[in-house]
Structure 1
Amino acid sequence: MTTEPSAYHQRVAEEKRAAILRAATRLFLDSGYDRTSLAKIADTAGVSKATLFKQFPTKAALFDAIVTASWHKGGEEEPPPAGDLTTGLTEIGRRYVALLTRPDMADLFRIVIAELPRFPELGEAQFQRGKLPYFDSVRRYLESERDAGTAVIPDTELAATQFLGMISNYVFWPRMLLLQWAPGTEAMDHVVQEAVLTMTSRYAASD
């Protein structure tokens, strides 16, 4: 007799987990991290407190899961294969735009910024579980291009910072101050193209 959960029960568990994450994100944003209880989250998500505590025994564990889920939605794809720096960076840049323009990404950063003075661990979670793994995936891609001989990059960490920064400084960070900031698809694609051009001009190997 198997003890493995059935496909139905796995699906139900995943649906409840997703409902908890959505409810927690909204309540953290509306009421603040400190003023949002796990009991309130369970009620809003439509699950029992026992169900919530089984998956997330603490509020910190729940926030970590929110961060991880939010960043992984845009970072699940395999990195592009090495061999064409322009094509690879263009693909990564467009994925990054898609990630940064999701509403829940801006919401997540607003929660962290608002609560950081009292809960510095939220910033640590955002960095260690979200931004850093994503950043490392881009750095590893640049290393693969360097190893393939298609790029000359003395410092892949700096290069990854440069590339992502050129995109996020237009696409994302103005939204933290300007709620109506919503550049169109053409404008964002142009930013990616210019960032790629800057990177290839600086780092592409000579023929």
Structure 2
Amino acid sequence: MSADESAPSASGGAARYHRDLAARNREALVTAARRLFLDLGYDGTSLAKVAAEAGVSRATLFKQFPTKAELFSAMVTTSWAAGDDGPPPAVGAPTAGLRAIGSRYAALLTRPDMADLFRIVIAELPRFPELGRTHFDLGKLPFFLSVREYLLTEHGAGTLRFDDADLVATQFLGMIANYVFWPRMLLLDWDPEPADVARAVDEAAATIVARYAVGTDSGTGQA
């Protein structure tokens, strides 16, 4: 094989190496940023500290994240991304569907770093109001919209009937968060047992179905 024939393969391997390296650096930076933001707050975390914590050069950091705000946005997006990455529930059994969605939401809210992330945003909000918008737009809003879309799908299938999907989604998620998450913001020892969390999710789903279901839903696909 000539040098010309091997060049494309070598070039492709180099490009793949640089992509993989950039992805590893990005992951290391976001992980380091999460630790520092949680420990030091937004104002106390500098890009230089993040680069040192991640073990990369400042030039590498600035190539990925030119500003601290962009790094914070990436950290928020990553923190919330694992919350609703499962497939949407099957349509026709709203009790079971809401239980599935609610369980994912409860698992997300009870992650060890989630309350700390909220505390950072709340504490820094007077000086950095854009943090609140970032946290909402990149974090809670996508999850809320996925729940809203599921509710509208059930509405279209004729299993649920309501006038305001935003209101129903807020009611459902609020019932769960009010038990599994918000007490944790003030009570550092608030740590309900998994069975109690599951019961809170079940009751939230049952309440929504009792209020908005058309006919009888047993949670098994029969409406």
Q: CA deviation at 1:9?
A: 4.4
Matching of residue 130 in structure 1 with residue 139 in structure 2: yes
Matching of residue 117 in structure 1 with residue 123 in structure 2: no
Name the counterpart of 2:203: 194
Deviation digits for residues 90-135 of structure 1 (CA, Å, limit 9, x no counterpart): 1001111111111222221111011111000000100111111110
Which moves more between the two structures, 26-35 or 125-134? Answer: 26-35
Matching of residue 32 in structure 1 with residue 23 in structure 2: no
Which moves more between the two structures, 85-94 or 14-23? Answer: 14-23
Q: CA deviation at 1:15?
A: 2.8
Q: CA deviation at 1:45?
A: 1.2
RMSD of aligned C-alpha atoms? Answer: 1.5
Deviation digits for residues 14-42 of structure 1 (CA, Å, limit 9, x no counterpart): 33222211211221222221121101110
Q: What is the CA–CA distance in structure 2 between the aligned matches of 1:151 and 1:32, rounded to whole Å?
A: 43
Could you tell me which of 121, 131, 151 is aligned with 2:160? 151
Aligned sequence identity (%): 61
Secondary structure at the counterpart of residue 42 of structure 2: coil
Secondary structure at the counterpart of residue 71 of structure 2: helix
Larger Rg over CA atoms: 2
Name the counterpart of 1:184: 193
Q: What is the CA–CA distance in structure 1 between the aligned matches of 2:46 and 2:193, rounded to whole Å?
A: 38
**Number of matched pairs:** 206
What stretches of structure 2 of length at least 5 have no aligned partner?
Answer: 1-7, 217-223
What stretches of structure 1 of length at least 5 have no aligned partner?
Answer: none
Task: Name the aligned partner's letter for residue 123 of structure 1.
Answer: G
Q: What is the CA–CA distance in structure 1 between the aligned matches of 2:15 and 2:146, rounded to whole Å?
A: 33
Matching of residue 5 in structure 1 with residue 19 in structure 2: no
Matching of residue 54 in structure 1 with residue 94 in structure 2: no
TM-score scaled to structure 2, two decimals?
A: 0.88
Deviation digits for residues 125-181 of structure 1 (CA, Å, limit 9, x no counterpart): 001111111100000000000001111121110000000000001101111111111
Q: What is the CA–CA distance in structure 2 between the aligned matches of 1:29 and 1:138, rounded to whole Å?
A: 28
